[in-house]
Chains A and B, each alone.
Chain A
Amino acid sequence: MDFQDNQNLIDNKEEKLLEPVVIAPQTIIAPRHPMSGKGGELILEVKNLTVSFGEEKVVDNLSFSLKKGENVAIMGPNGAGKTVLLKALLDILPYRGEIKWSEGVKISYVPQKILPEKNLPLSVEEFFKMKKAGREQAKEALASVGITDERFLKKMIGTISSGQLQRVLVAWGLIGNPNVLLFDEPTAGIDIGGEETIFNLLNKIEKERNLSIILVTHDMSVVYGFADSVLCLNKKLICYGSPSEALGSEGLKKLYGEGVTFYKHEH
């Protein structure tokens, strides 16, 4: 019943979204390389995807496609099926319809949150070993997320801070050199520590490793600064396109209902 727990976490997040979302001018970043139009190799094709829990359709007849190197942000209110969509893409939930990843694609998943017990007898190093990553690989992956202290490997996974845990999960996802990363709410209320934001981290990783990132997020600055396209989901596909197209205030209204305004400060 982990899924319901996730939904509860999302609920908490989204309470806030019912208030007007305001982004301070300095955090607005010009859209990165806007979708370079037609062409480009497809890495993922989703056709008529439907996921049902019993009678209820949680994801309803969804179709979209993803080009290589493209970063997609998935947005939507609680219970919209975002996490379910990621799980279907990972093929860990039964679904109807078609999900076609291009050949040779290596997918990694960074879950929303894990809550290891404080006294769980598992060191960070052993956690990496579970993905068949040796000490050196673990060190390298941790360095990519800004953890360079070697003693960190010996720490118990339940005792590190939630920010560090988030970094560890990202590093864990990088093991095996995936070319697609699926992130479930990488920002979920977590201060990852230091000056760095999860947004810088994603940007850095994406440049270093040249991968496509699909992420569920509510952080507008991440959407504008990072995503090439936005997929708004509320069981059905509500909008899909570049952030400025998809998230005009009409788009947001459609997604979250009336009363939501997104003040985008132009420069």
Chain B
Amino acid sequence: MNTSYYISFITAIFIGGVAGYVGSLMATKKMSLVGDVLSHIALPGIGLGLLYGINISLGALASLILGIVLIWTLSLKTELSMESLVGVVFVLSLAVGFLITPEDELLHALFGNISAVAMTDAVAAVFVSIIVFIAARIIYSKMMLAYVSEDLALASGVKINKYNLIYLFLIAAVVAFGIKVGGTLLTSAMIIVPAAVARNMSRNMRQYSWLSIMIGIASAIAGFAVFPFLAERFGLSVVAIGPIIILASIVFFAVSLLFKKR
């Protein structure tokens, strides 16, 4: 258990918590698919980062922001639905990302490499998590109102489009700085699963949002706690921590199904 282990641990906790929190807002109809595949749009940026030795989080962020702006502009300019546009940009990113990313790094880009988390990454992740948490908290109840009824939200002066865009940027930030934990494939699970667990168990928004955070954090802790045993048994490398965190959250999900329906 060296310093780098603790650095990864702290990063995973903060990213896990905030990913759960923003994920709980993904209840919104249109946003669920969009947010789900958004993390894959990071791939070309990660590839470029690896090629040119730039921090992959920054590469991922640039790629995500570019992707979101592209989707956003197209959805306003064309009659196409956001879902299909996201689909197109998603496969575009995947194809380009695959071509760009050095082959021996591809697996890490897709599934994460938590051992690559450096001190600066951890500091950035903690900082970004806090900012994203605060921003999401501010837009939370307005997003929820829009989910209950878009008309009511609009009539109450909520600029739904604006909030959706802010929300996408928040997800982009979480994905970019969580990419070393879960890669492009598994980071979306860190966003989706805790909220699904919380939804099974909560009766109101307060419980729901806090539980989402807590399940995210608990999954990270459980992942790190279980890893040494699994590593010893199956000879796993540290890289496996990311997928184990996801598996832990799935275990929570299975348990939450038992609590479902009071």
Contact = CB atoms under 8 A, between A and B. Distances in A.
Interface in A116-147: 116, 119-123, 125-127, 129-131
B203 A123 contact: yes
Given A111-B149, A129-B141, A121 B155 contact: no
A157 interface: yes
Contacts of A109: 151-152, 155
A211 to B, nearest CB: 16
A90 B154 contact: yes
A264 interface: no
Given A90-B155, A109-B155, A123 B148 contact: no
Contact of A122 (B142, B148, B151, B154): B148
Interface in B109-139: none
Task: Describe B's contact surface by its main secondary structure.
Answer: helix
A77 B12 CA distance: 58
Contacts of A129: 141
Interface string B196-208: 0011101111111
A123 B141 CA distance: 12
A122 B152 contact: no
Nearest to A110: B152
A26 B144 CA distance: 44
A130 B145 contact: yes
A117 to B, nearest CB: 9
A208 interface: no
Given A121-B198, A121-B199, A126 B204 contact: yes
B155 A2 contact: no
A114 B147 CA distance: 10
A228 to B, nearest CB: 24
A109 B157 CA distance: 12
Interface of B: 27, 141-142, 144-145, 147-152, 154-156, 198-200, 202-208
10 contacts: A2-B149, A90-B154, A109-B151, A109-B152, A114-B152, A122-B205, A126-B205, A126-B206, A130-B142, A130-B148
Q: Give 10 closest A-B pairs by Cβ, nearest first.
A: A121-B208, A92-B154, A123-B204, A109-B155, A114-B149, A121-B202, A130-B145, A126-B205, A111-B151, A90-B155
